[in-house]
Copies of this chain bind each other. A is one copy, B any other.
């Protein structure tokens, strides 16, 4: 039976994807997100609660498409303000045993040498529990903040490909195992014969090396990706070891998941070597009736304009240009038609107007919402696994820590009863210590042999030495 990986979505921000929840008396992130102990507490909850990993998205600008400016995005704290999440990872790792820590980091904003050093540092300091969600960036406001330059879509991925080549060389090819000899007799702290420059000269980057860091437990951090465009899918199928996906329904997901696995096969990889994690939001309670009431109450806290501001940043579409009773599907805009198809797929026959969209976006924005008792939620998650062929979920909280405590108290035990979660006790473990081993089993601390990173770095996966 297919196991289900549990990833917790987050952002080191005052609000994530459900805006207005600061009105919820149990919402803690709006005030706590600036405090280390808030995040350490959450990490401990997830670690004990059976989650594999905690993922932080990150942006470098306000959402400023809706109503042609940043006012709504700021007013509803749409992933803004936000702090750097990576600096929390060592603190959270020190307080947990198994949980992996993943951060978005953009190839557009940082030199690859820096990114390689940062993630090697994090991999050391977390004992091999770090993952990098590779993004090529998308917010225009970040560019106006002097963060990278926006390139044409295809050029962005061409540059990102070369970026990956540089970091693979730094992580896999620069330091041989056993270079840190500390050999007093030979007056040799580090063996220089085992530390190599990479001498990369390319179109976008010239990087001499050697890598600043000695090999960390995973060497290359676990690689994640989230692009859903044609070029993004190819990039993810090539580099991603796990991919965050969002689809409105199981039915919409199935063919798209199959396409990603096929793309992985075309890259010479076993399609099972990419873990697909589907974004879901859950409202669960002891009974279905209580869950229904809880959902209604959570909706009452919502500021749906925040969802519109988020949508604007994602799609470039300003929903303020439409009226409440505009039927979205009839509008003369490719983007809005795509959004309409999303709504229609999520709620056949129901979502059609802007007013419907507003209701839809009250909770978790465009993430599909499952409401019910533990059995209903577990069954629906199983349906995602078995019918859409996902490998796990990316649980998007509506409020924190409540959305996670509810899930851990009620759904995790039910999934465990059904044999869907690895490990026999509250803390998951596939036997391994690193994040990659959580995903692929003990002994797989390093890139799997069929991962293109080896070939790109010019290193033999069996001997771990340069070709």
- Cβ of A403 under 8 Å from chain B: no
Interface size class of A (residues with CB under 8 A): 35 or more
Within 8 A of B (CB), among A206-220: 206-214, 216
| Chain B residue contacts of A83, Cβ below 8 A | 117, 120-121, 124-125, 212-213
A184 within 8 A of B: yes
Interchain CB contact under 8 A, B303 and A82: no
CB pair B113–A34 under 8 Å, yes or no, is no
A62, A90, A126: most-surrounded residue (chain B CB, <10 A)? A90
* A280, chain B: closest CB distance, angstroms: 24
Pair B189/A141 contact, Cβ less than 8 Å? no
The 0/1 profile, CB within 8 Å of B marked 1, for residues 57-100 of chain A is: 00011100000001100111100111110111111011000000
Q: A393 at interface (Cβ–Cβ under 8 A)?
A: no
In angstroms, Cα B187 to Cα A23, docked, is 9
Give the residue of B23, B70, B89, B192 whose beta carbon is less than 8 angstroms from that of A71.
B192
Closest to A189 in B: B77
A135 at the interface (CB under 8 A from B): no
A214 contacts B141, C-beta separation under 8 Å? no
A109 at the interface (CB under 8 A from B): yes
Q: Which residue of B lies closest to A22 (CB)?
A: B182
Q: Tell me, yes or no, whether A6 is within 8 Å of chain B by CB.
A: no
What are the residues of chain B within 8 A of A259 when measuring CB–CB?
A: none
A19 interfacial contact with B, CB 8 Å: yes
User: Which of A144-152, A268-276, A338-346, A433-441 lines the interface with chain B?
Assistant: A144-152
Which residues does chain B contribute within 8 Å of A385, judged by CB atoms? none
The answer to whether A81 and B30 touch across the interface, beta carbons within 8 angstroms, is no
Q: Is the CB of B87 within 8 A of A35?
A: no
Residues of B close to A305: CB separation below 8 A: 187
A34 to B212, Cβ gap below 8 A?
no
Nearest-Cβ distance from residue A112 to partner chain B, whole angstroms: 7
Interface contact A87-B145, CB-CB below 8 Å = no
Contact of A189 among B76, B182, B211 (CB under 8 A): B76
Q: Could you say how many copies of this chain the assembly holds?
A: 2
Judged by a CB distance under 8 angstroms, whether A319 is at the interface is: no
Partner of A145, one of B113, B141, B144, B148: B113
A183 closest partner in B (C-beta): B22
In the bound assembly, the distance between CA atoms of A14 and B467 in angstroms comes to 29
The reply on A190 being an interface residue by CB < 8 A is: yes
Contact A189 B111 (CB under 8 A): no
Determine whether the beta carbon of B111 is less than 8 Å from that of A207.
no
Contact partners of A14 in chain B: CB under 8 A: 180, 189-190, 214
* Chain B residues, Cβ within 8 Å of A195: 74
* List of B residues within 8 angstroms of A94 by Cβ: 36-37, 40, 91
- Whether A147 lies near B36 (C-beta < 8 A) is no
Interface residue A421 (Cβ < 8 Å from any Cβ of B): no
- Output the least CB separation between A201 and chain B (Å): 11
Interfacial chain B residues near A447, Cβ < 8 Å: none
**What residue of chain B has the Cβ atom nearest to residue A144's Cβ?**
B208
Q: What are the residues of chain B within 8 A of A207 when measuring CB–CB?
A: 144-146
A34 to B208, CA, bound (A): 23
Q: List 10 A-B contacts (CB under 8 A).
A: A35-B124, A37-B94, A75-B189, A75-B192, A83-B120, A90-B90, A111-B145, A144-B208, A146-B166, A187-B305
- Please give me the 5 A-B residue pairs with the lowest Cβ-Cβ distance, nearest first: A83-B121, A91-B91, A77-B189, A34-B124, A144-B208
Instruction: Taking A20-B187, A61-B212, A144-B206 as given, write out 12 further A-B residue pairs in contact, using a Cβ cutoff of 8 Å, ordered by the A residue number.
Output: A37-B94, A74-B190, A74-B210, A81-B175, A88-B90, A88-B125, A91-B94, A111-B146, A114-B147, A145-B208, A146-B205, A146-B206
